[in-house]
DNA sequence: ATTTCATTCAATGAATCTATAGAATGATTG
DNA sequence: CAATCATTCTATAGATTCATTGAATGAAAT
C-alpha cells in the first residue's frame, strides 16, 4: 500500500509547484495567452533568469509546456483545468483563510469598546425580524446563498462588501450571518461595516443551525 | 497594484500547505470523518508530534479546524470543497505528469521487442480507417473529446481505461490517440492495453494536428 | 494534589527552495 | 563565421521546510 502514498507525494509535487506567488502569477498570465519567457518575466515582475527557473519548475510537474519558436521559447498551459484548479484554490482560500484574518480582527475588536462584536441570539433576531426592525445580511458566497438562505436576507458576499454598499440601509439595524458560529465571515463583515458607520451586529449562529432548527428558509434544492 | 500579488502569495500559502504527501494523507483521511490527532497520525503513518505539526500547518491556512473534546483534539475539514480541490489536483496531475511517467514508460518499452510502441502514421491510419480495419480510441478527457474528436473515435479517458474495456473489440486493431506527439496519454494507454492482450498501436500525431491538417472532425464548437 | 493521557511547543540539523549573477547554449542575423 | 538575442544552466548564499527529540501544557482520573 505504499503506492497510495507515492501518489499523494506526486500530487504534493504539483501542489508545491503552485505554492509560490510568482509561479501563480506566471500561470495566471498564461491562462490568458501563451507567451515567451521575457513577456512572462515582465508581467510577473521577475528577472528573465528567475522567471525561466520558475517556468521550468512548472514544466517539471507538467503544468506548462514549452515549445521553441525561433529564438523564443513559448510557454503555455498544459491543461485548461489548471485555471479551474486555481479558481477553486482561490475560493477555498478566500473563505477559509478567514480564520487567520479573524485573529487580526480580534485585535481590532479588542481595541473597540469591549464587546463591540457582540452577537444577536436567535430569539433576539426573530423578535427583531417580526417587528420589521432588522435587515438580514448574508455574507456567504452567491452559490451558498442561492442554495438556501434566511427569509428576505440580502446577499453580499464578503468579497464584494464594499462594492455593494448601496443595497444596505443606513438607518436600520443590520444583522449579518454566515455559516455558523465557527465561520468568521460575519465577524469580518461586521467589523468592516462598523467602520463605515453602519449599525451592524452578528448573528451568533448561522444558516445551517437556522435550517436545522426547522425555521423557514428560502432557496432552491436542499443540501444534506 | 501590489494587492494582486499579495492575493497570489496568500493562495500560494494554501497551495504550499497542500504540497506535502503526509498532509495530503491527513486531509484525505479527514475527508472521510473527523478524527483525533492520534488516529490521524496512525492512518498517515506519522508520529503524533509530527502529525500535530502538520495539522497545525493545515490549520494555519484554514484548511482544517480543531476543537477540543475532553483530552482529545478533534480535527475536521473546514470546507467540503477541499475534497473537490484535491480531486481536481489529482486529475490535473494525473494527465499532466504523464511527462514524468513517460520516462518510466520508455524504460518498459525498451525492454519489450524493440519498437513495441511504434506509432502509426497519418497515412497508415487513414488507409486502415478506409478499409474499416481500425478502431479509433480517444484517451483524452471527456471534455476534450466533446469539444472535438476524430470521426467514429471511442472515448475512454485514460483514467477510466480499465473500467470501460467492454467498449473495445478484442479482434480488431485499435489505434489510440491523444493531444499530439508530446502528449503521453496514448503511450500509457497502449502500454496498459497491450498487457491486457489488445492489439493496440499509437497514432504518432494527435487531435490538434489532425484538425490542423483539414481532416474531418466530429464535435461541437471549434476551439482556436 | 498528583498522576496520567493527549496534544502542543521549542530547539536542532539535514534537506530543499529562492533570488542573484555570470557563464553557456541554440537559433537567427549580418 | 562572427555577432546578437532569448533562454537556460551553474554556483552561491540566505531563507524555509521537515522529522526528531524532549520539555511543557491542559484536561481527566486517582
Check whether residue A55 has its CB closer than 7 Å to nucleic acid strand D: yes
Pairwise pLDDT comparison (B103 vs B218), residue with the higher score: B218
Q: Determine the 3-state secondary structure of A176 from DSSP.
A: strand
The answer to whether the beta carbons of residues A41 and A48 sit under 8 Å apart is: yes
CA neighbor of A177 nearest in space, from A151, A204, A211, A215:
A204
CA neighbor of A89 nearest in space, from A20, A158, A37:
A20
pLDDT above 90 as % of chain B: 33
Mean pLDDT value across residues B132-140: 92
Q: Residue B77's Cα: distance from chain center in Å? A: 24
Please list the residues that pair with B175 across neighbouring strands. B136, B201
Separation of CA A20 and C1' D15 in angstroms?
14
Entry pTM: 0.55
- pLDDT at residue A104 in the model: 41
- Count other C-beta atoms under 10 Å from residue A73's C-beta: 15
Query: For the complex shown, is ipTM > 0.95?
Result: no
Using the predicted structure, report yes or no on whether residue B183 has a pLDDT greater than 70.
no
Q: Which of B10, B25, B90 shows the shortest C-beta gap to A97?
A: B10
Using the predicted structure, report yes or no on whether residue B163 has a pLDDT greater than 80.
yes
Name the B residues in 90-129 with CB < 8 Å from any A CB. 90-93, 95-100
Residue with cell 436576507: A153
- pLDDT at residue A199 in the model: 86
Task: Pick the catalytic residue from B134, B174, B178, B200.
Answer: B178
Q: Do A63 and B16 touch (CB under 8 A)?
A: no
Which domains does chain A show, CATH number per domain?
4-79 (1.10.10.10), 100-223 (3.40.250.10)
Q: Which of residues 38-67 of B touch strand D (CB under 7 A)?
A: 46-47, 49-50, 53-54, 57
Phi, psi of A151 (to 5 degrees): -60, 135
- pLDDT at residue B4 in the model: 62
Print pLDDT tens along chain A (224 aa).
445 677 788 889 999 999 999 999 999 888 777 899 999 999 999 999 999 999 999 998 989 999 988 899 999 988 877 877 887 888 788 777 664 454 344 444 444 433 445 678 888 899 999 998 999 999 988 888 988 899 999 999 887 888 899 999 988 999 999 876 545 677 768 877 877 888 888 887 778 678 767 788 887 654 33
- Whole-number Cα distances in Å, B125 to A96, B114, B175: 52, 21, 8
Q: Which of A1-5, A73-77, B106-110, B127-131 has the lowest mean pLDDT?
A: B106-110
CA neighbor of A22 nearest in space, from B105, B74, B131, B9:
B9
Query: Which residue does chain A place closest to B98, by CA atoms?
Result: A62
- pLDDT at residue A101 in the model: 54
Q: Do A99 and B20 touch (CB under 8 A)?
A: no
Residue with cell 471527456: B142
Question: Where does residue B46 rank: exposed (0-12), middle (13-18), buried (19+ CB within 10 A)?
Answer: buried
Q: Determine the 3-state secondary structure of B2 from DSSP.
A: helix
Mutate to test the interface with A, among B6, B17, B21, B95 (most CBs of A within 10 A): B21
> Strand runs (DSSP E) across A44-199, as ranges?
64-69, 72-77, 119-120, 134-138, 154-155, 173-178
- Whole-number Cα distances in Å, A188 to A8, A156, A174, A199, B150: 35, 13, 14, 14, 53
> Strand runs (DSSP E) across chain A, as ranges?
35-36, 64-69, 72-77, 119-120, 134-138, 154-155, 173-178, 200-206
Is B183 a residue of the active site?
no
Rounded CA-CA distance B6/B88 in Å is: 24
- pLDDT at residue B184 in the model: 60
- pLDDT at residue B114 in the model: 37
- pLDDT at residue A15 in the model: 96
Whose CA is nearest the C1' atom of nucleotide D16?
B16
Q: Do A88 and B92 touch (CB under 8 A)?
A: no
Q: How many CB pairs under 8 A join A and B?
A: 150
Q: Do A79 and B63 touch (CB under 8 A)?
A: no
> CB contact, 8 Å: B89 with chain A?
yes
Q: Do B15 and A13 touch (CB under 8 A)?
A: no
- pLDDT at residue B99 in the model: 45
Q: Strand C: list protein residues with Cβ under 7 Å.
A: A 16, 19-20, 22, 46-47, 49-50, 53-54, 57, 68, 70-71; B 36-38, 48-49, 52-53, 55-56, 66, 71-73
- pLDDT at residue B8 in the model: 84
- Count other C-beta atoms under 10 Å from residue A185's C-beta: 27
The answer to whether the beta carbons of residues A64 and A55 sit under 8 Å apart is: yes
Using an 8 Å CB-CB cutoff, list chain B residues near A89.
11, 14-15, 85
Task: Pick the catalytic residue from A134, A178, A183, A185.
Answer: A178
Rounded CA-CA distance A178/A92 in Å is: 15
Mutate to test the interface with A, among B1, B5, B13, B14 (most CBs of A within 10 A): B14
Tens digit of each residue's pLDDT (9 = 90 or more) over B34-65: 899 999 999 999 999 999 999 999 998 989 99
Rounded CA-CA distance A109/A89 in Å is: 29
Residues 6 or more apart from B127 whose CB is under 8 A from it? Answer: none
Amino acid at each position: 500500500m505504499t503506492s497510495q502514498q507515492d501518489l499523494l507525494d506526486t500530487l504534493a509535487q504539483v501542489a508545491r509547484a503552485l505554492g509560490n506567488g510568482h509561479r501563480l502569477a506566471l500561470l495566471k498570465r498564461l491562462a490568458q495567452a501563451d507567451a515567451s519567457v521575457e513577456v512572462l518575466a515582465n508581467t510577473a515582475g521577475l528577472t528573465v533568469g528567475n522567471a525561466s527557473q520558475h517556468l521550468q519548475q512548472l514544466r517539471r510537474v507538467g503544468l506548462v509546456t514549452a515549445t521553441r519558436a525561433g529564438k523564443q521559447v513559448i510557454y503555455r498551459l498544459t491543461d485548461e483545468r489548471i485555471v479551474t484548479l486555481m479558481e477553486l484554490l482561490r475560493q477555498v482560500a478566500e473563505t477559509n483563510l478567514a480564520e487567520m484574518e479573524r485573529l487580526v480582527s480580534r485585535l481590532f475588536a479588542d481595541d473597540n469598546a469591549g464587546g463591540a462584536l457582540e452577537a444577536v441570539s436567535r430569539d433576539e433576531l426573530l423578535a427583531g425580524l417580526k417587528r420589521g426592525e432588522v435587515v438580514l445580511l448574508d455574507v456567504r458566497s452567491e452559490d451558498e446563498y442561492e442554495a438556501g438562505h434566511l427569509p428576505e436576507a440580502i446577499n453580499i458576499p464578503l468579497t464584494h462588501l464594499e462594492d455593494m454598499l448601496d443595497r444596505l440601509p443606513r438607518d436600520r439595524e443590520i444583522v449579518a450571518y454566515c455559516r455558523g458560529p465557527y465561520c468568521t465571515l460575519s465577524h469580518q463583515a461586521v467589523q468592516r461595516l462598523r467602520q463605515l458607520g453602519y449599525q451592524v451586529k452578528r448573528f451568533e449562529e448561522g444558516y445551517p443551525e437556522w435550517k436545522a432548527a426547522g425555521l423557514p428558509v428560502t432557496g432552491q434544492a436542499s443540501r444534506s
